[in-house]
Structure 1
Amino acid sequence: MSVKHAMLALLSAEPSSTYRLRKRFDASTGQTWPLNIGQVSTTLNRLERDGLVEHDEPVDDGTGGGQPWRLTPAGRAELAAWWARPVIAEQRGRDELVVKLMLATIAPGVDVEALVQVQRAATQQTMHDLTRLRREVEAHDLVGRLVLDHHLFIAEAELRWLDDVEGSVARSAHAGGRPAPASGEDEPLAAAPAGAKGTR
């Protein structure tokens, strides 16, 4: 999900000022995706440049947020096209953790097991924090619950994947492959752990 389409989606409900859009974005994402006012302003200016939004009639909503924005017909068409498109995993960007671990298996002098342990501890802490937030979410806050559940499922899957990576590295070392830590010898990329697929 891009900030661009998030702004279009929010404006499809009602015109809003830059300030109010940021507040509505925070509410709609359960405050799990921080977005500052500068990012919102820059995105809106680009949308205006592309003819997807325009300024609406000024209103005094008591927020002091400035002149409201609204969708243009082109903006509504772009949003409709986005709603109709599935999100393809390959379009979500490279997963830094997957790339990092893949490179660790071929780079000399890297203790892959130690790297996995550090990452596991960080992911477990993330799960702890998310679980605490999930308990604090109000029962009627559907958006908050859905967003936090999504992040929890991702963290759980990441922990399972890290277990698999650790097992694959250990089996490879036992079979006479790349030891952990590394021996310093160059090895082909195929030595990367099996099943190294990103969860995020």
Structure 2
Amino acid sequence: MSVRHALLALLSEGPKYGLQLRQEFEARTGEVWPLNVGQVYTTVQRLERDGLVVSDDTEEPGPQKCYRITEPGGDELRAWLATPPAADVPPRDELVIKVLVALRVPGVRVTAILQTHRRHVIETMSRYARLKEGAGPDAIGLLLVADAELFRLEAIVRWLDAADARLRQLAPAESADAPARERAAR
């Protein structure tokens, strides 16, 4: 996620102080992505350096400094909003890497690893479902984040199920090859 662009979006609503930016960022993202106030100030300083925001004339850095978006900052924000995220290269997914590595580790039952991860993902999905149930109708940020996470987690469960089915299909062939591999290893 681009903190840079999220801060530009917040500033597009009007001038804000650094602490206010952090609070509004967390509120808008359903309070599931905490943002360090130091990251806010570092980011707005870069935005100011790049001419995308300006601050008031106070010499005091920190919470007393008010930031405003510039016209180039608005252009940058609109361009970012209109540009789909890159989806051409698969992201490095730790779970996928873990499964691929486990395939080559002697004595490891990959299907057991898949089931362990599946249980964990289902438990996480249950927490998000409970979070949604407890959210009020005005918690739109939280509800949208929870929905996005539930869909993402559902895709992981589907992949785990597909990987498990694929490995179970291959298991009989691997078992038949096991005596030949053992003889070759001697």
TM range (shorter): 0.7 to 0.9
Indicate the residue corresponding to 2:184 in structure 1: none
Q: CA deviation at 1:93?
A: 3.8
| Gapped regions of structure 1 (runs ≥ 5) | 59-63, 184-200
Does residue 95 (structure 1) correspond to residue 93 (structure 2)? The answer is yes
1:56–1:91 distance in 2 versus 1, CA, 3 Å: farther
Aligned to 2:82: 84
Residue identity (%) = 44
Q: Distance in 2 between matches of 1:81 and 1:91?
A: 22
* Cα-to-partner distance string for 1:132-190 (whole Å, 9 max, x where unaligned): 110111023222212211111111221121111111112112222799xxx9xxxxxxx
Mapped partners of 1:122, 1:148: distance in 2: 17
Cα offsets for 1:23-44 (capped at 9, x unmatched): 1011111112222212222222
Decide which of 144, 147, 155 is 1:146's aligned counterpart: 144
> What corresponds to 2:113 in structure 1?
115
Aligned to 1:155: 153
How far is the alpha carbon of 1:91 from its aligned partner? 6.7
CA distance in structure 2 between the partners assigned to 1:178 and 1:32 by the alignment: 49
Match of 2:7 in 1: 7
Change (3 A) 1:172 1:102: same
1:166 pairs with 2:168:
no
Aligned to 2:174, what secondary structure does the other structure show?
Answer: coil
Matches within 5 A, 1:30-49: 30-49=30-49
Q: Which residue of 2 aligns with 1:55?
A: 55
1:7 CA drift (Å): 0.8
Q: Are the aligned partners of 1:15 and 1:56 in contact in 2 as well (CA < 8 Å)? A: no
Q: CA separation of 1:176/1:65 partners in 2, compared to 1, >3 Å: closer, same or farther?
A: same
Quickly say closer, same or farther: Cα 1:35–1:89, change in 2 above 3 A. same
TM-score by length of 2: 0.82
Cross-structure match for 1:132: 130
Structure 2 residue runs without a partner (length 5+): 182-186
TM-fit CA distance, 1:126: 0.9
Higher normalized helix content (fraction of residues): 2
Q: Using structure 1 for the length normalisation, give the TM-score.
A: 0.77
Structure 1 segments, 4+ long, off by >6 Å, are none
Tell me what 2:68 maps to.
Answer: 70
Q: Judging changes above 3 Å, is the alpha-carbon distance between structure 1 residues 150 and 89 closer, same or farther for their aligned structure 2 residues?
A: same
Tell me: CA distance 1:177–1:27, structure 2 relative to 1, closer, same or farther (3 Å): farther
Q: Would the alpha carbon gap of residues 159 and 44 (structure 1) be closer, same or farther in structure 2, given more than 3 Å must change?
A: same
Count of residue pairs the alignment pairs up: 175
State whether residues 28 and 143 of structure 1, in contact with CA within 8 Å, keep that contact through their aligned partners in structure 2: yes
Conserved? CA contact 1:105–1:178, under 8 Å: no
The Cα RMSD (Å) is: 2.5
Equivalent residue, structure 2, for 1:27: 27
